Homo-oligomer: A and B are copies of this chain.
Amino acid sequence: MASSVHHLLFIINLLIIPTTLLSQSIIQMPPRRHRITDDNLYCDSWRFSVETNDAGTWTSIPSRCVAFVQDYMTGDRYLSDSAAVANYSLSFARGFRSEEMVRTLGSSTSMRLCSPICPTIRRMDSGLNSYGHRSVTFDEASFDEWVDLAEAPALPASLKLYKELKHLGFKIFLLTGRSEHQRNATAKNLLYAGYNNWERLLLRGPSDQGTTATVYKSEKRSDLINEGYRIHGSSGDQWSDLLGFAVAQRSFKLPNPMYYIA
Contacts from A to B (Cβ < 8 Å) = 41-42, 44-46, 48-49, 51-56, 76-77, 80-81, 83-85, 88-89, 92, 250-253, 255
For residue A56, which residues in chain B have a CB less than 8 angstroms away from its CB? 88, 92, 250
Bound CA span A85–B52, Å: 10
In contact, A83 and B45 (Cβ under 8 angstroms): yes
Knowing A48-B255, A255-B48, the reply to whether A85 touches B42 (Cβ < 8 A) is: no
In contact, B250 and A49 (Cβ under 8 angstroms): no
Q: Which of B42, B52, B76, B85 contacts A253 (CB 8 A)?
A: B52
Bound CA span A211–B182, Å: 48
Bound CA span A83–B38, Å: 14
| Least distance between A251 CB and chain B CB atoms (Å) | 8
Residue of B with least CB distance to A84:
B45
Name 4 extra pairs, CB < 8 A, besides A45-B84, A49-B84, A54-B89: A45-B83, A48-B255, A55-B88, A56-B92
In contact, A49 and B85 (Cβ under 8 angstroms): yes
In contact, A48 and B49 (Cβ under 8 angstroms): no
Q: Which of B42, B54, B84 contacts A48 (CB 8 A)?
A: B84
Residue of B with least CB distance to A55:
B88
Name the 10 nearest CB pairs between A and B, nearest first. Answer: A45-B84, A52-B253, A45-B80, A45-B81, A48-B81, A49-B84, A54-B85, A54-B88, A54-B252, A41-B80
Residue of B with least CB distance to A83:
B45
20 pairs across A/B with beta carbons < 8 Å?
A41-B76, A41-B77, A42-B80, A44-B80, A45-B77, A45-B81, A46-B84, A48-B81, A48-B255, A49-B84, A51-B51, A51-B52, A52-B52, A52-B85, A53-B253, A54-B88, A54-B252, A54-B253, A55-B88, A56-B88
| Least distance between A131 CB and chain B CB atoms (Å) | 14
| Least distance between A200 CB and chain B CB atoms (Å) | 25
Bound CA span A201–B49, Å: 27
In contact, B49 and A51 (Cβ under 8 angstroms): no
Bound CA span A210–B82, Å: 36
